[in-house]
Amino acid sequence: MALFDKIRGEFIDIVEWLDDSRDTLVWRFPRYENEIKMGARLVVRESQVAVFVNEGQIADAFAPGTHTLETRNLPVLSTLKGWKHGFHSPFKAEVYFVSTRQFADFKWGTQNPVMVRDPEFGPVRLRAFGAYAARVTDARALLRELAGTDPQFRTEEVEGYLRQLVVGRLAHALATAGVPLLELAAGQHEMGLRLAQALTADLAGVGIAIPTFTIENISLPPEVEQALDKRSQMGIVGDLGEYARFQAANALENAGGAADGMGLGMGIAAGQHLAATLTPQSQPHQPGAQPDAQAGPPPLPQPDRWFLGVGGEQRGPYDEAELPAAGLTPDALVWKAGMPQWSPARDVPELATLLRHTPPPLPPA
């Protein structure tokens, strides 16, 4: 009985693979010195492909299902071994199970920044990172080009190769996208779809496809991000004077929270001085207050600038002394800042002196 069990143990009746690793792309069935019995069962589960290799040459491949190994469903292997029709005997062959499920745990990132030219900011260095999924679409090509005779070909062995290809494609996509930096976030999904298609085409020769490609983030250099933050703050504040007062208030708050004693007094004094400098006209004059000895004289008053309306045409602006030469007549319309509307020159008391030396209009011919 023991001899019969030993002889029976030399033949393999069931060939199958139960994957519990979650990261194995190719697994070789551990045949060792045993022979596969003709008529044995081959169990190929969903998301698997079984490939028979004879003396280093790829032979037959089997899709998911339960198969009985016979010469009629092993046509290539039968030819390689020279079996005659109807010859049933145990045989030796390597069986590789290839996983065709989606491996969605691949990460990618730009080790070095990618230089792009933006129409608004000029040359800018970008960094990006994300994730992608990979799937085997041609088991024969994968064995031929990447896995070879590796008894357990894992995702980590192909991840470096895929990452280099991804980053190379991404750099070209970013450089030629022609999308402004401020609109890149809105186009990340479409860019990911295009990259997935391009990478699938590049990897067709090794039997791998990229069904999904995700760009999680595209980041700018810190100095560019700070400039954008300032621009956003200015857009929210709107008025430069209001922004300056806002900064002065922040300085007071920071001084109050970070300093005490002399530091607090200096911070408050600096804030008050800055606020007074920014809003001199808003400070009312206190009765009896002495003017600042260091303050200079007020600016000289500016002369009025006048506009003329002659024959339906607007002329000016002119100084008051230039009005006679510009065509001032009693009937000419005049206007300056502060007047509610255009008025004839004769109705403007300020121009009475000039009109004394201005001849009246010529009589009609």
**Whole-number pLDDT of residue 8:** 47
First to last CA, the chain: 146
> Among 251, 283, 245, which Cα is nearest to 268's?
251
Query: Measured between alpha carbons, how far is 1 from 360 in angstroms, rounded to an integer?
Result: 144
SS (H, E, C) 88-131: CCCECCEEEEEECCCEEEEEEECCCCEEEEECCCEEEEEEEEEE
Predicted TM-score (pTM) of the model is 0.58
Q: How much is the mean pLDDT over the chain?
A: 80
Amino acid 130 reads G
**Whole-number pLDDT of residue 306:** 85
Lowest-pLDDT choice from 24-33, 112-121, 214-223 = 112-121
- Cis-peptide into 298, omega within 30 deg: no
Q: What is the pLDDT of residues 112-135, one digit of tens each?
A: 888 888 777 778 888 888 999 999
Residue pair 131/195 in contact by the 8 Å Cβ criterion: no
Q: What is the pLDDT of residues 259-272, one digit of tens each?
A: 454 454 554 555 55
Using 50, 70 and 90 to split pLDDT, how confident is the model at 153? very high
Q: Which domains does the chain have, with CATH numbers?
A: 2-99 (no CATH), 103-220 (3.30.479.30), 225-267 (no CATH), 306-356 (no CATH)
Residues in the chain: 365
**Whole-number pLDDT of residue 359:** 65
Alpha-helical segments (H) within the chain: 2-9, 75-81, 139-142, 156-176, 188-202, 222-237, 240-258, 262-278, 323-326, 352-356
In whole angstroms, how far apart are CA 161 and each of 101, 112, 113, 145, 222?
19, 17, 19, 12, 30
**Whole-number pLDDT of residue 5:** 45
Query: Measured between alpha carbons, how far is 40 from 305 in angstroms, rounded to an integer?
Result: 108
Lowest-pLDDT choice from 182-191, 248-257, 308-317 = 248-257
